[in-house]
Amino acid sequence: MNPRLLFWIPAGLRLSIVLAGAAVFWYLFGMFAGVVAVIAGLLILLIVQLHYLFQLSQWLEDPNSAKLPDGWGAWTDIFSRLYRMRRGDEKNQAELTEWLTRFRQAMSLLPDGVVIMDDVLFLEWCNPAAEKHLGLQLDRDKGMRVTNLVRTPEFMDYIILGRYDEPLTIGFKDRKLVVQIIPFENRRQILVTHDITDAERIDMMRRDFIANASHELRTPLTVINGFLEIATSQPNLDPQTRMSHLKLMSEQGQRMQNLVEDMLTLTRLESVDYPLRPEKVNIRMLLEQIEQEAVALSAGRHTISLQLGGPDLKGGTEELRSAFGNLVTNAIRYTPQGGKIDISWEDKDSGPQFVVRDNGIGIRPEHIARLTERFYRVDKGRSRETQGTGLGLAIVKHVLLRHDATLVIESEPEQGSTFIVKFSRKLVAES
Ligand code: ADP
């Protein structure tokens, strides 16, 4: 039935009852009594209506606090319908709040920045990634013009030209960002930011590595080619010169081989397809072998000592051999004849540590932080003279990264250097 009828039928019914009652009074007690009965009946009806109207207006003031009365007659229906509408509203509101919370959560997890602006670029909302990328603070910057907050000439030009179908790469503070404006609705625009600082840095490192590696390989190749040219253009070279050329060529060939091997080792250490497979490493055996190799390399020019006091480790034997071996080889290469090299494996409270101490040429403080960079050398000439590839400490760094270990370098020019590799106690192997 039409709900309006539900209202009008009881209301009409009540009026009919009042009028019928008044007619009965009129008939029984005369006209005056009938009129009084009509007025009294209407008055009662009016008071009831006013009472419910008052309750309704009170409820409308604060629909959350009070409950609606049950009502009487048509009011029952009005109140119950209002109540149902309110419940529906509450449900919609709760759904909306839930959606909003979920949307905010998703937005705050997004690695890309999202800024919502109005048509004249005033900031309305942004997610935490956008705050980080663009140095914004939503509560502080809300309502400010985005061009006043992101002040780079490229971004200004982008806004002025309005070619939003293409993204734009900008350098902002110490970051490299790809930004794009996407107009939406009639009067809103979204600014999306994507941080490419790391990708760009890796790309640059890769380019530098290729350039450096090519340069490193070109030098020995040029020497070998030079001697080969001499050999073909001067077939009657005396045997002594020929021998010395062959010796130099073989040295350069060895240098190229060392370089390629170190590059392959580094690539392997960085590769995700080559995860560390920890095994029990017999440190005593490993370090005794390294010491023997050191003695052979030094050929009696240095005093070499080994002290073993720490426990065995869990790790990659070959990787640790390569890292420890590089540190010991460096100590020999950068310590003049007559120098002293102490190798020790110690047990400290924080965990075991490998220490190589020499009294060689030492390193000036400004170089220390950069030593583990690929191809970084303090003295290029000396490194080459001793068959260095410039990759030894980069390999050490990568091996240590895979073992959660840290490298500490202490050095004083002309006094010597100490390289300490600190392992965590977690890596100690059970005996
Ligand atoms: P390289 O093949 O040139 O030795 P590394 O990566 O092993 O390359 O070492 C980087 C640089 O660190 C070396 O060129 C050298 O200048 C310096 N260095 C490494 N170990 C020592 C040391 N024990 N004493 C002095 N300088 C060292």
Residue 105 belongs to some domain of the structure:
no
Q: Is 80 in the same domain as 14? A: yes
pLDDT for the residue numbered 3: 54
Residue 208 within a domain: no
Q: DSSP string of 232-295?
A: HH-TT--HHHHHHHHHHHHHHHHHHHHHHHHHHHHHHHH-TTS----EEE-HHHHHHHHHHHHH
Determine the pLDDT at residue 173.
87
Same domain, 289 and 417: yes
Residue 395 counted as domain residue: yes
Strand partners, 194: 178
- For strand 303-308 and strand 340-347, is the pairing parallel, antiparallel, or unpaired? parallel
Of ligand 1's listed atoms, the one at least distance from the Cα of 387 is 2
Residue 165 lies in a domain: yes
pLDDT at 66: 61
- Domain with residue 172: its CATH number is 3.30.450.20
Q: Is residue 100 domain-resident?
A: no
- Same domain, residue pair 176 and 263: no
Per the domain annotation, does 389 fall within a domain? yes
Specify the 3-state DSSP secondary structure of 175: strand
Q: Does residue 353 belong to any structural domain of this protein?
A: yes
Residues 305 and 190 in one domain: no
Give me the pLDDT at residue 5, please. 60
Q: Could you list the pLDDT tens digit for every one of the 431 residues in the chain? A: 555 565 566 667 777 887 888 888 888 888 888 888 888 888 988 888 888 888 888 888 877 666 666 766 777 778 888 888 888 888 999 999 999 999 889 999 999 999 999 988 999 999 999 999 999 999 999 999 998 998 899 999 998 888 899 999 999 888 999 999 998 877 889 999 999 999 999 999 889 989 999 998 998 999 999 999 999 999 888 999 999 999 999 999 999 999 999 999 999 998 878 888 899 999 999 999 999 999 999 999 999 999 999 999 999 999 999 999 999 999 999 999 999 999 999 999 999 999 999 999 999 999 999 999 999 999 888 887 878 899 999 999 999 999 999 999 999 999 999 999 999 999 998 87
Q: For residue 178, which of 132, 133, 145 has the smallest C-alpha distance?
A: 133
Q: Are residues 290 and 263 in the same domain?
A: no
Task: Identify the pLDDT of residue 9.
Answer: 67
How many angstroms is it from 333 CA to the middle of ligand 1? 8
Pocket test for ligand 1, best of 257, 383, 399 (most atoms within 8 A of CB): 383
Q: Residue holding tokens 């960002």?
A: 177
Does residue 124 share a domain with residue 180?
A: yes
Local structure of 348: helix, strand or coil = coil
Residues 342 and 393 in one domain: yes
Place of tokens 């080559």: 274
State residue 272's pLDDT score: 79
Q: Which atom of ligand 1 is nearest to the CA of 379?
A: 16
Question: Which domain CATH number covers 412?
Answer: 3.30.565.10
Cβ neighbour number for residue 315 with a 10 Å cutoff: 24
Torsion of CA 21, 27, 29, 32, to 10 degrees: 80
State whether 74 and 139 are in the same domain. Answer: no
How many domains does the chain fold into? 4
* Binding site membership of 390 for ligand 1 (Cβ less than 6 Å): yes
> Is there a domain that residue 97 lies in?
no
Structural domain of 261: 214-270
What are the residues facing 182 on neighbouring strands?
190
Q: Tell me, what's the pLDDT at 1?
A: 52
Q: Say how far apart CA 190 and CA 426 lie, in whole Å.
A: 48
